[in-house]
Structure 1
Amino acid sequence: MIRYVFFAGVLAIVSSPIALAKDTAAPLNYFLHSAGPASSPTMVLGWVLTTVVAAVFLIITLLLTVALLRKRTVEDPQAIGPENQGMAWIYIGTGVSSCILFALVIYVLITLNTIANPTRTPALTLTVTGYDWWWKVEYEENDAARYFATANEIHIPVGEPVLVKLKSADVIHAFWVPLLAGKTQMIPGLVNRQWLEADVPGIYRGQCTQYCGLQHAHMGFEIVAQNPADFRKWLDEQRRDAAPSSALEVDTGKEFFMTHCSGCHSIRGLGAAGAHAPDLTHLTTRRLIAAGLLANTPENRIKWITHAQELKPGARMPSFALSSGEIAALSAFLSTLN
C-alpha cells in the first residue's frame, strides 16, 4: 500500500507541471511563466528551491527504502554496530546540508536585492490601499486636476516600470500579482513600495494573500497591461468627469443614487464624494465588480446591489430591497457611467 501511495505522489509531482504548461493563462501559473522582470528572478528561485526539496525528498525516500528492505539476522552481533560507527555519516550529512542551506540563503538575498528596485526610473506612480475587502487605486499626478481614483483594476503601460505605494486602511493585507512581482505586505500606518513591469499586453490576476477576514478569498484585482498609446487613451478617458444623459429614467436613478449611495461612493462631476467605497465615475469600463467576484454586467450590478450580503457576507456593502421601478432606474443610471 505504501509503495502505491509513493508512486502516486511521484506521478502527481511530475504530471502537474506538464498539465500547467498546457495552460499558460492560468491565473496563478507563476511557477512556469513570468511576464515581467520583477517576477523572473523569483520564478527561477522557485525552481532552485523546488529542485533542492525534491532532491532531499528522493534521498530520504531512498534511504528509508534501503532500511526497510535490508535483511539482518537477530544473531548478527554487528546488526547495530558500535556507537561511533555511524557518527561519521551524521557529521558528513550535517556539514553538506549546512553548506547547501548557507548557499541558498545567499542566493535568496541576492534575488531580493535584484528585484528591490527597477532598472530605470518608474514611468508611473500609483497608490494602492487595501480595504476589507476591495482595493482603491490612485493615479498620482503633480497637477491635482489630473488626479483620479479607481477600484480593483490597475492599468499600466507595457514595457515601463511602475512604482506602487501600498497602504492599508484597516488590517494587514498583502499585494500579489504572481506573474509580475512577488508579495508585499500592506500594514496599517506604513507605506510599503513595490514595482511592476509587464513585458506583453494582457490581464494579470492579483490577490490579497494575507488572511484579512471573512471575505479574504474574494479580495482580488486585475492588472491590465496596455501598449503605451492605449494606456494614454485610457488615462485621458478616466480623468473625465461623469456625464450621464438627462433621460427621465436616468435622472430618477441618479436621484436614488445621490440619496442612498453617495455617502460611501463617489462619482466625479456629480457631487457624490463618499470615501468609504469604490469610486464609480467610470464604472462600466471595468471588467469585474466586487473585487473580482462578478463580471461587470447590468444584471450583475443589480444582483450585487440587492444581494451583496448573500454574495459576500460581512462586506460593508449592504443588500438593498428595491422595487422593480427603482431597479430599472438605478440600472439605467449606472449604465451611463462610462
Structure 2
Amino acid sequence: MHPGPVPRSRHESPAGKPLRGAPRLRIAAASCCGLAWHARGASAAPAHDALSPAGVQASHIFSLWTLTLTVCSLVFAAVLIALLVAMTRAPRANRDARPDLSPLERPEKRVGRVVGGAAAVSVVLLFGLLLADVATDRALSRLPVADAVHLEMTGHQWWWEARYADDAPGSGFAVANELHIPVGRPVVIALKADDVIHTFWVPNLHGKKDMIPGRQSTIEFRADRAGAYRGQCAEFCGLEHALMAFTVVAEPPAQYDAWVARQRAPAPQPANALQAQGERLFTTGNCAGCHTVRGTSAHGVLGPDLTHVMSRPMLGAGTFENTPANLESWIKAPGSMKPGTTMPASQLSAQDLNALVAWIGTLQ
C-alpha cells in the first residue's frame, strides 16, 4: 500500500510531463488553505487553525501575528482617513481652470511637517515590528527540551513516516501519517525528505519547517492542551501534495505511554482459518515487498509500516476513513482513490481479497 510515486522533478508528473496550471493551482490552494482534509468520507477533521494555538511555540507566533495585524490595520486605516480628508478638502476646478503652482514657490510647511511626522511614525512602527520578530525568534529557540520525546519524521511522496527512538534496544517502532505526543512534554523531531522538498506544518503547535533531501533539520514544540491537530505538507511536492496530511494526537502522559506500549507490540496471531489465509497471502505476495508487519516475515521498507494500521483513523495520508470497505477498495484499485500512487492494483480473487482484508483488520 505504498502511496506515492517519484516524479522526475518537483513540478513534473509521473510521466515526466509538466503539470498543467489548473491542477497545480487547485492542488496547491487546497493544501495551503487546509482543504485536503475534505478527504473522501472524512467525518471529523482535526483542528487546523493557526489562530487557535495549543502550545507555547504556537502562542509566540500567534502573539507576533496579532501585533503585526494590529499595527498594519491601524496604518491602513490612517492612510485611508488621510486620503478621504485630502479628497474632501481639495478645491474643485473646471476644465478651464489654470493649475495652482503656488506651492512650488511657497513650500507648505504644515504639509511637510505632517508628511515628516508620518514617515517618522512609520519608521518607529517598522523598527518595533522588527524587534518583536527578533524577540519571537529568540523565544522559539529557548524551549526547554529536557526529558523530550525524540522521533524522526520523513516525508515521502505522498505520506509521512514517523519513527520513535529506542528507549531500550529493539524497542523502537514506526507509524505512518499519525503522531502521538504527551501533553506538557517537549517533542524534538528530526525532519528528513526521501525524495523532494516537503514542509512540516502543524499550525496549532508551531510554524513551518522545510524538509530538504540530503539534509536533516529539527523542530521542537510542546502541546499544552490535549486534542487532535491536523498537519499538512506546506510545500508543493507533486501530484498528490494536497492529499498529504497527518494527525498529531496530544494526550495525557498515561494515555501516551499506553499507546506506545501497544505500538511496540507485534501483530497478533490469526484467530481463524480465514485470517491465517490472509496473513499467508500478505507475507508470500507482493505486499511484503513494500510493507513491514512486525511479528511476521514481512519486512518491506518502501511503504508504511502496517503492524497496527487499523488503529489509525485515516488511510492514504488523510485521504479517506479507515474502514474495511475503504481498505478493500484501496487494495483493489488504489489509483482510483488517490491518483498518482505507485501501489499497483490487486489481482486477487474476491475470496483471497476477503481473506486479506480480514487479516489486516486484526492489525489493531
After TM superposition, the score normalised by the length of structure 1 is 0.86
Matching of residues 1-338 of structure 1 within 5 Å: 27-31=47-51, 33-74=52-93, 75=97, 78=100, 81-82=103-104, 84-85=107-108, 88-258=113-283, 259-338=285-364
Consecutive unaligned residues of structure 1, counting only runs of 5 or more, are 1-24
How far has the Cα of 1:137 moved from its partner? 0.4
* CA distance in 1: counterparts of 2:128 and 2:56, whole angstroms: 23
* CA distance in 2: counterparts of 1:80 and 1:138, whole angstroms: 75
1:221-255 C-alpha deviation (Å, 9 max, x unpaired): 11111211111111111111112315222122222
SS at match of 2:103: coil
* CA distance in 2: counterparts of 1:270 and 1:34, whole angstroms: 41
* CA distance in 1: counterparts of 2:102 and 2:215, whole angstroms: 59
How has the CA–CA distance of structure 1 residues 92 and 166 changed in structure 2, closer, same or farther, with 3 Å as cutoff?
same
CA RMSD of aligned residues (A): 2.1
* CA distance in 1: counterparts of 2:346 and 2:116, whole angstroms: 69
Q: Contact conserved, 1:137 with 1:152, CA < 8 A, in 2?
A: yes
* CA distance in 2: counterparts of 1:215 and 1:266, whole angstroms: 23
Q: Contact conserved, 2:199 with 2:211, CA < 8 A, in 1?
A: yes
SS at match of 1:209: coil
Q: Contact conserved, 2:147 with 2:186, CA < 8 A, in 1?
A: yes
Identity across the alignment (%): 37
1:112-163 C-alpha deviation (Å, 9 max, x unpaired): 1101242241431010011111110000015331011111110111111111
Report 1 or 2 for greater relative contact order, CA contacts < 8 Å, sequence distance ≥ 6: 2
How has the CA–CA distance of structure 1 residues 246 and 26 changed in structure 2, closer, same or farther, with 3 Å as cutoff?
closer
How far has the Cα of 1:170 moved from its partner? 0.9
SS at match of 1:126: strand
After TM superposition, the score normalised by the length of structure 2 is 0.80
What letter matches 1:328 in structure 2? N
What letter matches 1:51 in structure 2? T
Number of residue pairs matched by the alignment: 313
1:255-299 C-alpha deviation (Å, 9 max, x unpaired): 222212111111111121111111000111111111111111111
* CA distance in 2: counterparts of 1:314 and 1:52, whole angstroms: 45
SS at match of 2:57: coil
Consecutive unaligned residues of structure 2, counting only runs of 5 or more, are 1-44
Q: Contact conserved, 1:127 with 1:165, CA < 8 A, in 2?
A: yes
SS at match of 1:81: helix
